[in-house]
Structure 1
């Protein structure tokens, strides 16, 4: 039949064949000699298939980009002017794969007229070939690139909220202290920010920050490091908020000791004060803190509890003998006198269980804030004291009253 439809064909149809072709809707043409052949303008079935495919592709684009006439199947629709991912499907059409084929520089795929109209309507730029056909311009941006930008903005917004930077909504209460990483379990706006920031701060991290997130982190006082490929992550030396919480807790514990022994800077809450050089009884409390229980734990021979530098300073000022451990940490010396409420305080005697400290350390009361929870660090965000080393110089020393031949006179406890 293709042979009969050629413009220069010499093929002819007989009368019976002609009747059957006419009944099939095939248009014939008559020649000068009265014979007939198939008219060259008769559409091919293959062309009809192309038209159908073109229409299907057009409908998929209309649906994917939410163009007029769409049914709302694609939720959310693809952003105008961007290519979907290569695995994107809509209306049972592998549109992402087709568009990825059409955008290749060496592509042989072409768009049909209806598909071209739909693509232009979706903001997709086409490129024209010498033969008048068209495909998608290779410079068309991918939706994946846009997804990265959206994710970057979202990550930046979470940082803004966590550190209460300009534009925050106040969702994060209390905020993270500037320049410090939150705990790994910290979440805000439904995002595991702590987990992400700790991953970004690893020495061997492969995670990177986007430009918006980087700007937010810098505004939050977080130091970034640049990699050889020009990307960025968080500097591994960035301090953790947990470290600051330990410092604040240490200040709080020191403040309780100051109050209990009425050291310089006390408020007079403890009446009467604990006698210098003696442990309070186990039930003793001050400023809502079970100081007696803590100090007895610290004075146990097998204790795992340790004092921080500020608490150590306060204890030394209160005449409490400390002992140094092999790892450089400190606890209360087990031979420190306990307060005997019936017989009164006794002088500290004969520390024998290890090196001890009896020097008096000077404590600046202004550096001892009263803090009752670990989140109070936010109130002291800009204290210069937090960036200085207040730790006392604790050098092990044998108490002056202890001699090699002395015998402990402590009563059995």
Structure 2
């Protein structure tokens, strides 16, 4: 059996002294040290637990203190609101009292005014000897104020008619005869002036119609809306207006009775018509100088439909549902709807082409573009047709039918895909259509 012995040496004057400690002593020392360490560790653990418990108590006390302070602040705010509401209610009471006094004053004033009106009403009824709706003994009651005022208005209307009748009867028969002779003479003069005026308008209208047709043929831009207000007086529909005698019922009719005054007024009204003719003549001369460029400008909408399913730009592809670029306008139309050429040109392509289906491409040449002084090269495309009605290299005029609407190629239903290429680059067709067809709006469904 192995034994442990601890040997200690102590040096002194006579030599070294030895001290022997056996294994039992060593184990006893080790046990004492271990027990002391465990006691100290438990003591530290207990102290730490007490400190944590005290911190939690302090935290709860701080929370309770903050909650208490919040409730105190809330009660203070409620007291302030109660004081404010009490002041506000007091102010409302004061305003109600003031309004009541004002209302009484206005009621007294209104009663006084109604009494004066009643006296005036009774007096006028007696003087004019008319049967009034309101008798003199009737009084206005608070529950029938509207009826009383309505009847009073009727009586005053009767008085007005009676006064007018008396004023007309004051004229003598001799004065009426003189007036009739003057009116007959003026009627003849006015008929002559009106006939000259109508002839002048007809001449200008024929000039405007001729220039409108010429400009529309060259540019494809309709000017009928602007000239519709100047229709000839010979039209069989929509005729009417004031007669010649109606001019003498106007104010200041003495002015119209003066010689030449009606003629002057009629020709003053034609100044705007003269300006319109002058402007159209200048416009026609400018278009004549660039006739070929205007004929090659795609100003016409290629289909009668005004509904769009897709515009130019980014959109969700109907098949992949991804955002992709759309290079034209999609017009909604029935299958077989005619497709028109928007300008003169030559058929560049007329065949089936991949996702475009049956497609026609026109090459127009140089034309005008909105906002630019220089001309540009135009090409237009028409896709998803059900039938192609032209051939390659065929010459086309504006308004010719080049195909029928369909749903060929990569399409979800009948529609027309319309593209405009400017200098070989795709452009938004809406810019050209909106500038050259300002009276026709397109709608996106």
With the length of structure 2 as denominator, give the TM-score of the two structures. Answer: 0.23
Whose radius of gyration is greater, 1 or 2?
2
With the length of structure 1 as denominator, give the TM-score of the two structures. Answer: 0.24
Which gives a bigger RCO, structure 1 or 2 (Cα 8 Å, sep 6+)?
Answer: 2
**Structure holding more strand per residue:** 2
**Structure holding more helix per residue:** 2
